[in-house]
């Protein structure tokens, strides 16, 4: 499939093989894995980092096969995490970094001006999706001036 903001065709990604249960040598204690997720979430780790830690240090290749739900759902059930979804927060942090770059004497950097526009368009599109899903309030709007407050 083609990339939205690039003049390239992109490349198709490989898919994981279909597996119904966790491998034999993995940690399959659902209660212990859930407690690990909660502890790592309270330390301030994102769901992606939690998944990497579980895979590398605790022999849990797929949390979904062990628990039956995703890491973000476990964090949400225990009221751990930010007010915004993780992918949207990552885009907002990226936008703040670009704004800082443009504000610190690089106001003629046209490539990053365009990348800021693209990032903001992604944030707006994603916010429309999250509004329809009910994960954001319907009156929420992206405002560049208030972005630093939302990210911190």
* Residues 72, 145: Cα–Cα separation, whole Å: 29
Q: Is the pLDDT score of 76 beyond 80? A: yes
What is the percentage of the chain residues whose pLDDT exceeds 70? 93
* Residues 16, 37: Cα–Cα separation, whole Å: 23
Cα torsion 88, 94, 95, 100: sign:
positive
pTM equals 0.78
Vertex 122: Cα angle to 128 and 43 (nearest 5): 90
| Helix (H) / strand (E) containing 36 | helix 30-42
Which of 15-24, 31-40, 42-51 has the least mean pLDDT?
15-24
Report the pLDDT value the prediction gives residue 2, as an integer from 0 to 100.
58
- The dihedral region occupied by 40, where left means phi > 0, alpha psi between -120 and 50, and beta the remainder, is alpha
95-141: pLDDT as tens digits: 999 999 999 999 999 999 999 999 999 999 999 999 999 999 999 99
Vertex 141: Cα angle to 87 and 95 (nearest 5): 45
DSSP 71-134: HHHHHHHTT-S-SS-HHHHHHHHHHHHHHHHHHTT-TT-HHHHHHHHHHHHHHHHHHHHHHHHT
């Amino acid at each position: 499939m083609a990339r939205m903001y690039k003049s390239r065709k992109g490349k198709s990604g490989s898919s994981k093989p279909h597996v119904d249960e966790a491998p034999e040598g993995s940690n399959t204690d659902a209660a212990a894995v859930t407690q690990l997720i909660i502890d790592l979430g309270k330390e301030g780790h994102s769901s992606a980092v939690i998944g990497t830690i579980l895979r590398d240090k605790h022999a849990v290749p797929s949390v979904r096969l062990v628990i039956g739900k995703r890491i973000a759902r476990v964090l949400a059930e225990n009221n751990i995490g930010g007010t915004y979804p993780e992918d949207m927060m990552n885009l907002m942090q990226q936008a703040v970094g670009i704004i800082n770059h443009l504000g610190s004497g690089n106001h003629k950097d046209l490539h990053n001006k365009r990348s800021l526009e693209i990032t903001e368009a992604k944030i707006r599109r994603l916010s429309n999706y999250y509004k329809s899903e009910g994960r954001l309030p319907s009156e929420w709007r992206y405002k560049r001036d208030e972005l630093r407050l939302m990210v911190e």
